[in-house]
Structure 1
Amino acid sequence: MKRVCITGVGLISSLGVGRQAHLPLGPARRDEDNFAPFPIHPLPALGMESVIPRREYRQMENFQRLGTYAAGLAIADADAGALVAGMDLVVAAGGGERDWGLDEAIQAELLAIPAEGREAWLHQKLADGLRPTLFLAQLPNLLAGSISIVHHVAGSSRTLMGEEGAGAEALRVAAARIAAGTSEMVLVGGGVIAERWDVMLAFGAALHHGPWCPTAERDGLVMGSQAGFMVLESEDHARARQARILAVLRDVRVDAGAEEGRAACFAALAPASGGLSVAPMRAMMVPGAEMLADAIGSGFEASFPVGVALAALRVEAGAPPIAVHGFGHGYGEFSALVEPCP
């Protein structure tokens, strides 16, 4: 089995972009007003339109823009721009964003349409009013496509959808391919935008209501916009091109078991106690672990890649091995060990 190395990181959250914004983690940036009663960790102004070609930028929704931006940062950080033609891609993302203006227009007019003609009318309204990507449904494939178009990543592509577990499984798949020798270089990660009312409505029962408070004091999650992408390489491949190795990624584990088995599963799953945790609620906290959600919130599909990316930056900066623990807000638990390269 080949050693899996992290050679590039693209990390974006409410704290900002890259190493300087996340080493160390600064004071949390929160918004408790615009989506009340749900507090969130919103993105600062990023100027993504300056790094994504205008033609592509206009066709993307915000989660595509954020993920594409973070993916580009990871490629640049790995100094791998000349290698994208052979770079494989594994992406985790949600199902896209709603067009609220069109939703409201349809709701205002729908009841005036005779019942027998509503289905055809609705279909035509959606076809005329939505961009093709929205009409076809914004699956993670669209984020992968945006990354391929903007950054010319031309290897194989795999996409996953399914909240926190999708991000963890994307990382497991990418690392397994490197370790098995079926891929030499993989770009992997995910992104999510929290500033969306459709997300609040879809996940309202799982969200914390009321003023922000630390993870240890709440039973619901607080969302945060974030994206984390990494370039993974086999050690042989990285050394052959004289790449800087940030960290070694080892023992990525994913358990999609039910919540009632969480304690027993995690006791066997976790490589170490303490470390960095991307648990969204206090019921999932690991003793001694630093709660990443306190600083940047929970990012569904992006949560675990962001946690591992942050661990890689810390290890590069001189930290000892870091165990990254993750949980799904409904089910699933994940772990990985990020170590210095010997």
Structure 2
Amino acid sequence: MNRRVRVAVTGLGVKTPAGTHVKQFADTLAEGRSTAATVAEFVDLGLPVTFACRVPEFDPTDYVSLRELRQLDRAAFLAVAAAADAVTDARLERPAVPERVGVTVGIGAGGLTPAELLVQEYGDRPATVPAYTVPRIMANAAAARISLRIGARGSALSYVMACASGATAIGEAMLKIRSGELDVVVAGGTEACVSPVAVSSFARMGAMSRRNDDPAAACRPFDTGRDGFVMGEGAAFLVLERWEHAEARGARVIAELRGYGSNSDAHHIVAPRSDGAVAAACMRLALADAELAPAEIGHVNAHGTGTLYNDLAEARAIVACFGADGPPVTAPKGVLGHSLGAAGAVEAVATLLSAVSGTVPPVANFTTGDGDTALIDVVAGRARQVAPQPALTNSFGFGGHNVSLVFAPC
């Protein structure tokens, strides 16, 4: 690790259920308003869960031609749109030295939804599948499309780490810059799994809330009444730059990506370690990388899925890392739902916005914690104002993948 190489965030782009532009996204989070709503198709199919959090419609031709749109699955399209917004925000439309610009994308279930749709439509006549089938189901399609769009000739990599994928892509992008390999990386995550098979699969394993009569109250991170997550979708991207590169071109620096920690529970294919010990160690790795003490963190953006055991394990991890008087804790999935591989990137944007502004959003639907979830300082009811300070965000994925990132105001 070389702390002399600082990594600046110079652009942001989001396509999420909370909004398709950064300000709209931040405002919705600050309101603590759930975006979950009934999905008519799920009702008609008689699914056990009939609601989800979806990205509001926006004009696709602002980003791609209609011909290109037919060749893209939804996850890749959302990625291209969010990445394009981030590049525009960074005023980096065409790289001066394309070999020094890269792309990293996190995606958890790449190819699942387009494959599901293809089976539904062409399952009884596979010989007639469209010619663009392969580009639509490629898990690396998002990274490739972004690279093509901006002319980035550095590495274009895809990371599949379940729900830690987006955060992994951002952390690994930072390492690419620190190593000297790249000057700029467009980094983020994407996912679009609001589909019958995906929703039913998670529902069957007992991971999803079944509050079909009240979707907006369904996801309840750290609350005593939590009963599972809500499926979401979305994409979020950051433009990361070597600090000197950003300064040389006169870029606006939004925040600094300061720390990255990653480890594995090595415990169970889907369940977290109940004591949260390895997750706590992951947070400590990120803090050490950022050269910060726990007391210097202004708030924690928790993974907070709203599931019984994950929230309990994370609460224990936060207490183990920060102590009984730890910083305020927020968890955006009560508003956004769980966008799987995109979640870490979406929540990275939320974290850095709060680190810079000092506005920590409330956890939607939280009233009171139970057991160890009552030991953390969950922001509830309304947004809390704190001094602009470094903030830490967690992403924990099936398979035991743990990632923590630290962002700091400039």
TM-score normalised according to structure 2 size: 0.73
- Match of 2:80? 68
- Match of 2:173? 174
1:120-135 matches, cutoff 5 A: 125-134=125-134
Cα gap change, 1:66 to 1:105, in 2 (>3 Å): closer
Deviations 1:74-113 (CA, angstroms, capped at 9, x unpaired): 1111111131734201111232223556534666x5xxxx
CA RMSD after TM alignment: 2.4
Matches of 2:251 and 2:312 in 1, distance apart?
Answer: 41
TM-superposed deviation, 1:232: 0.7
1:1-342 matches, cutoff 5 A: 1=2, 2-24=5-27, 25=29, 26=31, 27-34=33-40, 35=42, 36-38=47-49, 39-83=51-95, 85-86=98-99, 87-93=101-107, 94-96=109-111, 97-98=113-114, 102-104=118-120, 125-134=125-134, 138-204=137-203, 205=205, 206-211=207-212, 212-215=218-221, 216=223, 217-257=225-265, 258=267, 259-260=272-273, 263-270=276-283, 271=287, 272=294, 274-280=299-305, 281=307, 282-286=311-315, 288-317=328-357, 319-329=388-398, 331-341=400-410
Cα gap change, 1:50 to 1:313, in 2 (>3 Å): same
Q: Percent identity?
A: 24
Q: Is the 8 A contact 1:92 1:140 kept in 2?
A: no
Deviations 1:122-178 (CA, angstroms, capped at 9, x unpaired): xxx4342244334x7723311112222333333221112232132232122111111
Cα gap change, 1:130 to 1:14, in 2 (>3 Å): same
Q: Which has the higher helix share?
A: 1
Q: Which amino acid aligns with 1:95?
A: G
- How many pairs are equivalent? 324
Q: Secondary structure at the match of 1:236?
A: helix
Q: Which amino acid aligns with 1:210?
A: R
Matches of 1:154 and 1:9 in 2, distance apart?
Answer: 21
The 10-residue stretch of structure 1 (29-38 or 142-151) with the greater mean CA deviation from structure 2: 29-38
Structure 1: gaps of 5 or more residues: 110-124
Matches of 1:225 and 1:105 in 2, distance apart?
Answer: 22
Matches of 1:317 and 1:193 in 2, distance apart?
Answer: 29
Deviations 1:245-298 (CA, angstroms, capped at 9, x unpaired): 111112211122132275111222224474211231333444641011011011
TM-superposed deviation, 1:331: 2.4
